[in-house]
Homo-oligomer: A and B are copies of this chain.
């Protein structure tokens, strides 16, 4: 941790590794077994007194900036150059891809996974086991520019494919999916696919890869990419999505 500094008030767990040129500010609570990469700013002051809490076993990669005032569960994993602003509450197992930006005042469930350049607008609500692929954006201003604020809601098991735009106030219900490059402008019913300009296309169970024969939802074929402790919840999520078909 050449050149790094840990403020006296920070509470650092055991077996923590801090990279070079990284600053850990006051009011940071870092769980056991965390790794923080080089060139990070952890607990950047955000004008209020709430601490930044990062759960055990987390891995924050280089050049990331995490503001004070957020609570991020155990097993957090970020890519490089990630930004998480104040007031974010995330469950366990959150993954945030490189260059992604979580604008704060957000609620995020367990095991959510964001790829790179995902932009989560301020105030968004994201459930458990949600996927946001690269270059997706969750907006919140219905009349840009205005002071109105109508953030997006993504329920459990939602998948947002690359380049999709979630319009202000969009609500994606349980297990629904936004196709690549789609524009989601209102409510998407449970388990449904939306593509193009908010065209609802039927249930995700109809989505099949012809080469492999694999069918959606993803819990059928790829749920084992998650840790063992998540498996029972994934099975329950699958059942609840299938029940909407």
Contacts and interface: CB of A to CB of B under 8 A. Distances in A.
Interface of A: 2-3, 5, 20-21, 23, 37-39, 41, 44, 62-63, 65, 79-81, 83, 98-99, 101, 113, 116-117, 119, 131, 133-135, 137, 139, 142-148, 150, 159, 161-163, 165, 167, 180-181, 183, 207-209, 211-212, 214, 216, 218, 221-222, 225
Contacts of A150: 211
Nearest to A37: B41
A129 to B, nearest CB: 9
A3 to B, nearest CB: 6
B98 A98 contact: no
Nearest to A179: B144
A211 B150 CA distance: 11
A118 B99 CA distance: 12
A131 B144 contact: yes
Nearest to A121: B134
Contacts of A207: 143
